[in-house]
Amino acid sequence: MGAARRRGLTLIAIAVTVIALLWVGWHWLVGRHHLDTDNAYVVGNVVQITPQVGGTVQAIQADETDFVKAGQVLVKLDAADARVALEQAQAQLAQTVRDVRSLFASSASLHAQVSLREADLKRAQVDLARVQDDVNRRAPLVARGAVSQEEFQHVSAQLAGAQSTAAAAQAAVITAQEQLTAGLTQTEGTSVNNHPNVARAAARVREAYLAFQRIDLKAPIEGHIAKRSVQVGQRVQAGTPLMTLVALNQLWVDANFKESQLKELRIGQPAELRADVYGQSVVFHGKVAGLGAGTGAAFALLPAQNATGNWIKVVQRVPVRIVLDPKELAEHPLRVGLSMDVTVDTADQSGRVVSDVTREGPVSSTTIYDAQQAQADAEVARIIAANLGRASAAARTESTPSSAAAPL
């Protein structure tokens, strides 16, 4: 009985020793290269939908939990005020083009007026020279009695009249030239299309056109609607948050590791993540994208005041960004704010602790606004062409822009 007991205890000791050796071996080979934390949360791009112009909400076309695509209309504002402003700007541009055309026409008329006055001056100068010659020929003859005093006085009177006429013609030329110079200051070095007055009126049309287009609030990216606060009939100002758009296909995890764990973390290290929503059966795979530039406390709204007599040391945590596999994220969607358990494999120490590579391209972008400026330019060109007097049939088309392609 005693031998059997000793044999049993020996077997138990051997088993415990083997298990301990296996655990030590696993920890040495694998376990010591893993860092884990449950202080990790799903983060993503949370886009605030805000109007660029003020107005009254006419329709809400997306609600919470709805999926929307980029460019889809989410909220419509009342278009009446924007429509009137656009019509006024269009009419002002048309009138300005016609006014500038009259300036160019006046310049041509002033050129002709200067030529006419110069011709009058030349005739007056020819007449003056002829009369002066007559006076010069008759003056010696008066003393010899060959020409009567009365005839000489008559010729002298003609000379005075010719001088007066020449002086008046000279003054008329100067006046016409001054008028031409004043007219040229309005048109010289430019054309109707790029005249400053036309450019100013065209800018007002572009401004009004863009404001008219912006009465429809569109989704800048695709995603899901959350946190809608806007109501029909509400008067909103530019910049007022109306709802939130979350792109659930562009999520990552911020894992807050203790400062004592950072020495083993490197950019590019693989990570395994588990979400409470799926339990242990679903494992997400990702990579360390970067380590935060400061602790969470350093960027808090009210940073801790450590220079006090009541200081107590608290272990700080630094956010570490982990990017997720897009395919796994599509198969098992996550939500912003969900908690995660993160384990990082730190065996590979070849990565950098701090990134020194600049980003190529934008973090996030949208193209839904790209066409608005081009459309505004096309509307300006149409109005100018329609009022130049040589507009084509297309330019004379009375179509006007609308967020719903409706005529003004």
Spatial CB neighbours of 299, under 8 Å, sequence gap ≥ 6: none
Whether residue 344 is predicted with pLDDT greater than 60 in this model: the reply is: yes
| Fold adopted by 80-214 | Helix Hairpins (1.10.287)
Are 103 and 183 in contact by the 8 Å Cβ rule? The answer is yes
Task: Give the pLDDT of residue 134.
Answer: 63
- How far is the C-alpha of 350 from the C-alpha of 268, rounded, in Å? 9
At 187, the pLDDT band (50, 70, 90 cuts) reads low
Phi, psi for residue 282 in degrees, rounded to 5: -115, 125
pTM for this one? 0.70
At 364, the pLDDT band (50, 70, 90 cuts) reads confident
Q: Residue 238 corresponds to which amino acid?
A: A
- What residue spans define the domains of the chain? 34-78+216-345, 80-214
Q: How many residues does the chain have?
A: 408
- How far is the C-alpha of 16 from the C-alpha of 23, rounded, in Å? 10
Are 89 and 205 in contact by the 8 Å Cβ rule? The answer is yes
Are 194 and 96 in contact by the 8 Å Cβ rule? The answer is no
Mean pLDDT of 294-298: 82
Whether residue 102 is predicted with pLDDT greater than 80 in this model: the reply is: no
Looking at the domain that runs over 34-78+216-345, which CATH code has it been given? 2.40.50.100
Mean pLDDT of 138-153: 60
Name which of 365, 82, 376, 381 is nearest 247 in CA terms. 365
Beta-strand ranges (E) seen in 230-306 are: 235-236, 243-258, 270-275, 284-291
Whether residue 32 is predicted with pLDDT greater than 60 in this model: the reply is: no
Phi, psi for residue 246 in degrees, rounded to 5: -120, 125
pLDDT digit string, tens, across residues 382-400:
999 888 875 433 333 343 4
Mean pLDDT of 315-331: 93
- How far is the C-alpha of 267 from the C-alpha of 272, rounded, in Å? 15
Q: Residue 334 corresponds to which amino acid?
A: L
Task: Give the pLDDT of residue 186.
Answer: 62
Question: Residue 60 corresponds to which tokens in the numbers above?
Answer: 């809400």
pLDDT digit string, tens, across residues 47-81:
999 999 999 999 999 999 999 999 999 999 999 99
